[in-house]
Amino acid sequence: MRILRYEREKGTYTLAALANDERIYDLPYPDFMDMIYASEQSGKTPLHYVQDLIAGQEPIEETLEQLQLAVPITAPEVWASGVTYEKSKDARNYEATAGKLDADTFYDKVYEAERPEIFFKSTAARTVGPGQPVYLRSDSDWQIPEPELGLVLSKSGKVLGYTAGNDMSCRDIEGENPLYLPQAKVWKHSCAIGPVILLADAVDDPYSFDLACRIYRAEEKIVDGTANTKQLKRRFDELVEFLARDNDLFDGTVLLTGTCIVPPNDFTLKDGDRIEIEISSIGVLNNPVKKQESKIAAAR
């Protein structure tokens, strides 16, 4: 069972359940966490609670493609994990050594260390949903999407569901100096999540998700990569435990779990590109790419 959020009328949003047969049923909640709280009060799992809500209910007439989808949850914070796949480690080493790959780096150490890399990625205001543009950073010449499985968490660290995420990244800025990581990761519209949340209790094995990333330029596919969460070096409970350690989590926090799909080293995103991130059983997160003018230059 998947949960989506869409704009029913201008400025009015509602939740809906997307069943396995692709039919959509409205839910009497504007927000994902409201539904979770109601399921807890009922003593039912979220999956059984939603199944009971839509039992005997008629689906809406619209299809998923006809709805104006929004972010499935207004996440108060989005965090991300780095170097959780070997492919990610290799890409970070390429950046850090200017392509020489002639020495072990701190990325090798993080990949093997007990403590994972976890960093702050986004706020609700910086996060966009399906169909909304992700922005290019004006002071970077080497930018890529990072397709990732996202964990939707409660304040206790419980995994409530899974979604697709795009951790936009500036490879040149991070490669210049690891202390520049926040600037390589966080800016306006630098994070996308969606299109839905797959309820956790509807998933038998979260280490069997297939991931794909396709990038289109003038609607010609120029990048096409695949991966599977079984390739993860880290376990999800391990990542959540380190995020929650000595830290306050907020209901609806999203934790992105790292990428295993990296475009070729000579590739960078351009204005007008389109990114599709697909995760099996979840769906396709589709976002256009937009260039933005530097605010400093605009102020001059």
Helix, strand, coil % in the chain, rounded to nearest 5: 25, 35, 40
C-alpha torsion angle, residues 237, 242, 247, 253 (rounded to 10): -50
With beta carbons less than 8 A apart as the criterion, state whether 215 and 225 touch. no
- Angstrom distance (rounded) from CA 29 to CA 116: 36
Lowest mean pLDDT among 39-48, 83-92, 117-126, 227-236: 83-92
The amino acid sitting at 38 is A
Query: Percent of the chain beyond pLDDT 90?
Result: 81
Q: Is residue 296's pLDDT more than 80? A: no
pLDDT in tens, 114-164: 899 999 999 999 999 999 999 999 999 999 999 999 999 999 999 999 999
> pTM of the prediction?
0.93
Chain segment 265-281, per-residue pLDDT in tens: 999 999 999 999 999 99
DSSP-derived secondary structure for 159-227:
EEEEEEEEE-EEHHHHHH-GGGHHHHH-STT-EEEEEEEEEGGG-S-GGG-EEEEEEEETTEEEEEEEE
- Above 70 in pLDDT, residue 89? no
Partners of 24 in the β-ladder: 18
Q: Mean pLDDT for the chain? A: 92
Tokens of 287: 């976002």
CB distance 273 to 118 below 8 Å: no
Angle between helix 32-42 and 46-54 (nearest 10): 100
Instruction: Tell me what the mean pLDDT of segment 181-195 comes to.
Output: 97
- Please report the pLDDT score of residue 102 as a whole number: 59
pLDDT at residue 298 above 60? Answer: no
